[in-house]
Structure 1
Amino acid sequence: MSSLSASETVAAGRGPAASPPSGPGESWAVQVRDVHITYRVPRDPRANTLRYRLTRPSARRDLVREVKALRGVSIEVAHGSVLGVVGANGAGKSTLMRAVAGILPPSSGEIEVHGRISTLLALGVGFNGNLSGRENVVLGGLAAGLSRRQIAERYQQIADWADLGDFIDMPMKTYSSGMYGRLAFAVSTHMEPDVLLIDEALSAGDAKFKRKSYDKIQELVSQARTIFLVSHAVATIRELCDDCVWLHQGRVMMRGDPEEVTAAYIRFQEVGEDAVVLEDV
């Protein structure tokens, strides 16, 4: 089990969290307890320069402003669940994924993850474009904590799933976005993760890639793996997820059945359920 906490760690159950589970903590794959994340960004691009600080000493207090990306988010996700995360741009979806992944520590609150995490937060993140696909498979496996022997045992499965042919031995900077996506998805899902985080990674592929991805996700779910899926494609959320959370301005607006949550989200957006909303364009 891995745990992330800030100096102002709060007690479990405080805030808008659901009731704690009746069993041991390990019945939950991920617990997010009253997590706040605040960014400090310059108000003026010149604010980081020495000249600006020297010529405007009275403005030092106003050099930065705080952006509250997450505001008291509390969710608990059971093993074997597929949690869809929806919300407008800037709602805090990617921030939440990075916090669960351990990339971004909370300003306050606590996150506990039970098991190995694999992340697919953006196409090609963690890949070296100057290295071949084969070499990046090794890098991805080592980053996931696997030994070279374990990576070698999984390599052929990854290569077969990605279906890149001779491109597997070519530099990844020559890959299309779809090829990047196939290899990234293959690496992240074949490392036997307990928790898989997917942030808008399915939208770049073609129909065949999406179908294979859906089938692989269902396979992971059958093995009691836990999946977080961030997507603007409402149809994808409804098809793959058994739970859904809607974020707005860093807060949880609603959680529950994917059909109900996405319908409420669409009504809130006042756009209606047309084809453009239901699938990525």
Structure 2
Amino acid sequence: MTHSVTADGTTGERSASGGFAIRVSSLGVRFRRNRRGRRSFKDLLAGRKRRTRPGEFWALREVTFDVRPGEAIGVVGRNGQGKSTLLKLVAGVLLPDEGSVTVAGGVAPLIEITGGFVDDLTVRDNVYLTAGLHGMSKAQIDAKFDEIIGFAEIGDFLDTPYKHLSSGMKVRIAFAVISQLEEPIMLVDEVLAVGDKAFREKCYRRIDELLAGGRTLFFVSHNERDLRRFCTRGLYLDGGRLVLDSTIDAVLDRYNAEHASR
């Protein structure tokens, strides 16, 4: 099924059509300085074009693109240009102020992946809670539990409260859980910046396996090597707008040419 979220706050499901995994149309989202702008009823009924009020800025504006199933897309741009905001809109975490986001199928959100874990629960309980919240049944979690713990290399800490884990261990267990979801689309946002090199490479091999299995990848990273490794296509965001949609090599070459001397 296809899930769609529009600027008027409506959501819905309909049969997937057009052969796309993600469809973004005239997408825009605005924020107030220092906090997320609140949506009033007047805003919801005001139509697609809204004037910017004092203290507001558009994190994204007039962004349009389609992603086909099985594509690996890298999102490129400087800090503050809307890359992570775009992933959150695709994940359904944020509501757009303009336009729409349509996603054909579910997503495995490897973005801020430690955020859904509960500090006072043990590692074991957090695995069941988080995987369950993402739609896995208890039987499915039972079947995958040893694999999850083995991947995270955290078997000695099963009954340890999550809050006592190091930041690297938290990323390990979170990635191990989320990467087991059988969703067709992966959203990845710099989540592996924490952790040792050997485990990062282990995670990268897992992403390679998922891509080989036909998953769609939407990837935000400042690491050019990673972008070239995983992605074939790039989206270049600047000033909250999509300025280039091309091959990942062309996008990175333009980005480097424009920012090398800055």
Please indicate, yes or no, whether the TM-score normalized by the shorter chain is above 0.5.
yes
Which of 146, 149, 155 aligns to 1:159? It is 149
Provide the aligned length of Structure 1 versus Structure 2: 240
1:267 maps to 257
CA distance in 2, matches of 1:8, 1:124: 27
CA distance in 2, matches of 1:259, 1:108: 30
Unmatched 5+ residue regions in structure 2? Answer: 11-15, 36-51
Q: Does 1:73 align with 2:47?
A: no
Deviations 1:82-109 (A, max 9, x none): 1111111110011101100001011011
2:207 maps to 217
Show the 5 A alignment for 1:13-92.
25=17, 27-41=19-33, 65-92=55-82
In 2, are the aligned partners of 1:8 and 1:109 still within 8 Å (CA)?
Answer: no
Root mean square deviation, CA, Å: 2.1
Show the 5 A alignment for 1:98-109.
98-109=88-99
Deviations 1:105-155 (A, max 9, x none): 110111111111111212511111221221111111111122211221221
2:5 maps to 4
Larger Rg: 1
User: Given the superposition, is the C-alpha separation of residues 79 and 174 from structure 1 closer, same or farther in structure 2, using an over 3 Å criterion?
Assistant: same
SS in 2 for 1:27: coil
TM-score w.r.t. length of structure 2: 0.85
What letter is aligned with 2:243?
M
SS in 2 for 1:235: helix
SS in 2 for 1:25: coil
2:219 maps to 229
In 2, are the aligned partners of 1:133 and 1:171 still within 8 Å (CA)?
Answer: yes
Q: Does 1:146 align with 2:136?
A: yes
CA distance in 1, matches of 2:145, 2:195: 21
In 2, are the aligned partners of 1:123 and 1:177 still within 8 Å (CA)?
Answer: no
Which of 178, 185, 188 aligns to 2:168? It is 178
In 2, are the aligned partners of 1:35 and 1:73 still within 8 Å (CA)?
Answer: yes
Q: Does 1:192 align with 2:182?
A: yes
CA distance in 2, matches of 1:39, 1:101: 18
User: Given the superposition, is the C-alpha separation of residues 42 and 192 from structure 1 closer, same or farther in structure 2, using an over 3 Å criterion?
Assistant: closer
TM-score w.r.t. length of structure 1: 0.80
SS in 2 for 1:182: helix
In 2, are the aligned partners of 1:5 and 1:110 still within 8 Å (CA)?
Answer: yes
CA distance in 1, matches of 2:34, 2:172: 37
CA distance in 1, matches of 2:9, 2:98: 5
Deviations 1:33-77 (A, max 9, x none): 11010113479xxxxxxxxxxxxxxxxxx9951110111111211
CA distance in 2, matches of 1:179, 1:123: 12
1:12 maps to none
What letter is aligned with 2:152?
A
User: Given the superposition, is the C-alpha separation of residues 271 and 223 from structure 1 closer, same or farther in structure 2, using an over 3 Å criterion?
Assistant: same
Unmatched 5+ residue regions in structure 1? Answer: 10-23, 44-61, 273-281
